[in-house]
Amino acid sequence: MTPIPARHMLCVLLMAATCGCQPTTQAAATRPTRRAESKEAFLARYQAAHEAGDVDAAMRLVCWDGVDKKTKSFFRKNFETDFQAKFTSARLEPPAKGQWPDYEQNGVRYTTNLDVVASLMVEMVQIVKSTSAPSTTSYPVGLKEGRYCITTATPAAK
């Protein structure tokens, strides 16, 4: 019987050791896998931000992809105004057909920067001069990398 040369044995061992392995990139190997966020977790994050009056935390709930400074400022002011009201409840509902349409302003067509999968309905009580009035605010919500995000309008691709 003839002995197997060492270089051939090394090839056989490497082939056996890597059998069934798929090539990966370093980024894919080190990228943590993210579980999909539950609706309850998203609602809890919104509620915590609202009750604490934490506008920065609310801003982190928004997908800012392709959004200009003017829109960010608009959202910040909306959160600041809403957070003056007492939080009552928040829920995610299926979006009504046509609830979040594309629109045109100053010759520019706008669309949401995420596909809308739900509407965040926030109920609160506005207190003005010792009088309280219930109010509701709604935001379009999409999914980004498994997390719920408030979606915003951005110029549509041409």
**Is 10 inside any structural domain?**
no
**Is 108 inside any structural domain?**
yes
By percentage, how much of the chain surpasses pLDDT 90?
56
**Is 17 inside any structural domain?**
no
pTM for the full predicted model:
0.74
**Is 104 inside any structural domain?**
yes
- The number of folded domains in the chain is 1
Alpha carbon distance 117, 140 (integer Å): 8
Listing DSSP states for 59-75 in one string gives: HTTB--TT--HHHHHHH
Residue 129, domain extent: 37-155
Supply the Cα-derived Rg of the chain in whole angstroms. 25
**Is 8 inside any structural domain?**
no
- Torsion region of 105: left, alpha or beta (phi above 0 gives left; psi -120 to 50 gives alpha): beta
**Is 2 inside any structural domain?**
no
**Is 6 inside any structural domain?**
no
pLDDT 10s digits, 74-115: 999 999 999 999 999 999 999 988 888 889 888 989 899 999
**Is 27 inside any structural domain?**
no
CB 122 within 8 A of CB 138: yes
- Alpha-helical runs (H) found in 19-135: 26-30, 39-52, 55-59, 69-82
pLDDT 10s digits, 112-149: 999 999 999 999 998 777 777 899 999 999 999 999 99
CATH number at residue 49: 3.10.450
